[in-house]
């Protein structure tokens, strides 16, 4: 199969502040004197198709599907369906794997999410080690490991994802959809559309991991790279009418998700600035993220997180009323919070309300809200998670 993504820098999870190397540099150093991997898009698509249709079903049934079913009769029925219908009964699972991982992550079912990520990477990653789908799954794995406070492992995963993106960019730099057989063009276009925000999203995650490791200088640079990557792709959208068939050009219907991805990267970089008490740099990023999410309706807890971060800035600048308004608006969005990620967003809004209440002399209310926020964090965050250690406003 040639060189695998996992073979690139074997010790790339051990970088510290003193010997930090960016993924692209580590990749070039590792490949020094060697030719960049040259698996073509066509080979990746054919390999993935063979894997999904013929090899995946048995392993998926045994390692993924069965643990979710307690009823023995249902387990047998699933196995029978897989046996008789082969990949057709499981291809939906692979195509929806990223969504399933995200759902498990939102429910804080981290062990199941990690298992699914690793299974996907073992199967599909071996056939398409440099595909954007593989890179995205490394990013999801990194998010899961970060949520479990396994920061070194998360950094290793995200580096593999970024390296996969770099290799893929080299492979597709001069390709166009005319090079792909007709029967694979739809799958290829889906892959290319997905590729557009991937590198920026991976750098966003990289920055958040570095922030949790208190490597703030590198975290800021990763955040800036994530924003630049997505802004560059948005600008590329203007070239669609001139060269619409070329790989790497953004489809018009993908502009909204890309814009929301920009808001997400701005929010994460703002959090890194807030961790350094750099409110001046955080404020414009948060205002931009808020504006984007107001113009493009999205998941409520994302907006709530932005509002809570804005509330933290306004408290630091003694604009208590603005902070209260942000906290109240965030809590209103989370009125029916059920998922752990929604409850964690609620805890951040409660922290803002608690601090603002303390400033206004409402000490009893402030204490009650603070304790409620702390209780939520302790329920859903890993013991070593920096956010759990203390109030985000301390």
**Of the ranges 7-11, 195-199, 212-216, 298-302, which one carries the lowest mean pLDDT score?**
7-11
Q: In this structure, are residues 293 and 302 in contact, taking their beta carbons and an 8 Å threshold?
A: yes
Q: What pLDDT shows up at residue 301?
A: 94
Nearest alpha carbon to residue 30 among 67, 4, 53? 4
DSSP, res 362: -
String of DSSP letters for 207-230? HHHHHHTT-HHHHHHHHHHHHHHH
Contacts of 236 (CB under 8 A, 6+ apart): 248, 249, 250
String of DSSP letters for 31-91? TTTSPPP---HHHHHHHHHHIIIIIHHHHHIIIIIGGG---HHHHHHHHHHHHHHGGGGTH
3-state secondary structure of 176: strand
Per residue in 266-305, pLDDT (tens digit) is 999 999 999 999 999 999 999 999 999 998 877 899 999 9
- Rounded CA gap, 30 and 128, in Å? 20
Please, what sign has the CA dihedral across residues 104, 107, 112, 117? Answer: positive
Give how far Cα 92 sits from Cα of 70, 115, 386, Å.
21, 18, 37
Per residue in 99-121, pLDDT (tens digit) is 888 889 999 999 999 998 998 88
Q: In this structure, are residues 285 and 269 in contact, taking their beta carbons and an 8 Å threshold?
A: yes
Torsion of CA 117, 122, 126, 127, to 10 degrees: -70
Q: What pLDDT shows up at residue 15?
A: 58
Query: φ and ψ at 45, to 5 degrees?
Result: -65, -45
Q: What pLDDT shows up at residue 275?
A: 95
Q: What pLDDT shows up at residue 123?
A: 75
pTM summary value: 0.78
- Rounded CA gap, 119 and 161, in Å? 16
Mean pLDDT of the region 354-364: 92
Q: In this structure, are residues 355 and 364 in contact, taking their beta carbons and an 8 Å threshold?
A: no
- Rounded CA gap, 116 and 285, in Å? 34
Domains and CATH numbers, the chain: 299-394 (1.25.40.10)
Angle at 257 between CA 252 and CA 262, to 5 degrees: 115
Q: What b/e readout covers 377-390, taking b as 16+ CB neighbours within 10 angstroms?
A: beebbeeebbbbee
Nearest alpha carbon to residue 88 among 118, 57, 51? 57
Q: What pLDDT shows up at residue 187?
A: 54
């Amino acid at each position: 199969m040639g060189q695998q993504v996992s073979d690139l820098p074997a010790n790339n999870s051990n970088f510290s502040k003193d010997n930090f190397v960016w993924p692209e540099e580590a990749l070039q150093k590792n490949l020094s004197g060697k030719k960049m991997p040259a698996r073509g898009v066509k080979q990746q698509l054919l390999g993935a198709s063979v894997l999904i249709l013929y090899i995946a079903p048995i392993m998926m049934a045994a390692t993924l599907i069965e643990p979710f079913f307690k009823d023995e009769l249902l387990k047998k029925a699933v196995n029978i369906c897989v046996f008789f219908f082969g990949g057709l009964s499981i291809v939906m699972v692979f195509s929806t794997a990223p969504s399933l991982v995200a759902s498990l992550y939102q429910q804080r079912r981290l062990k199941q999410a990690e298992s699914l990520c690793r299974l996907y990477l073992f199967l599909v990653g071996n056939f398409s080690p440099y595909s954007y789908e593989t890179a995205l799954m490394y990013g999801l794995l990194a998010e899961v490991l970060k949520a479990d406070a396994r920061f070194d492992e998360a950094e290793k995963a995200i580096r593999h994802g970024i390296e996969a993106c770099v290799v893929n960019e080299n492979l597709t730099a001069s390709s166009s959809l005319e090079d792909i057989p007709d029967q694979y063009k739809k799958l290829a276009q889906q892959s290319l559309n997905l590729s557009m925000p991937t590198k920026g999203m991976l750098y966003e995650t990289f920055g958040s991991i570095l922030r949790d490791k208190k490597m703030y200088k590198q975290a800021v640079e990763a955040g800036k790279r994530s924003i630049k990557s997505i802004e560059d792709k948005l600008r590329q959208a203007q070239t669609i009418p001139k060269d619409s068939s070329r790989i790497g050009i953004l489809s018009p219907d993908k502009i909204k998700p890309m814009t929301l991805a920009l808001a997400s990267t701005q929010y994460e970089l703002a959090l890194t600035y807030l961790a350094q008490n750099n409110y001046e740099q955080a404020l414009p990023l948060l205002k931009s993220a808020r504006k984007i999410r107001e113009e493009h309706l999205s998941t409520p807890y994302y907006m709530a997180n932005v509002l809570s971060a804005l509330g933290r800035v306004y408290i630091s600048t003694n604009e208590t009323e603005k902070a209260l308004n942000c906290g109240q608006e965030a809590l209103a969005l989370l009125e029916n919070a059920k998922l752990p990620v929604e409850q964690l967003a609620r805890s951040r809004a409660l922290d803002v309300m608690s601090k603002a209440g303390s400033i206004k002399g409402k000490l009893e209310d402030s204490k009650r809200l603070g304790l409620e926020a702390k209780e939520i964090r302790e329920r859903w965050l890993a013991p070593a998670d920096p956010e759990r250690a203390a109030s985000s406003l301390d």
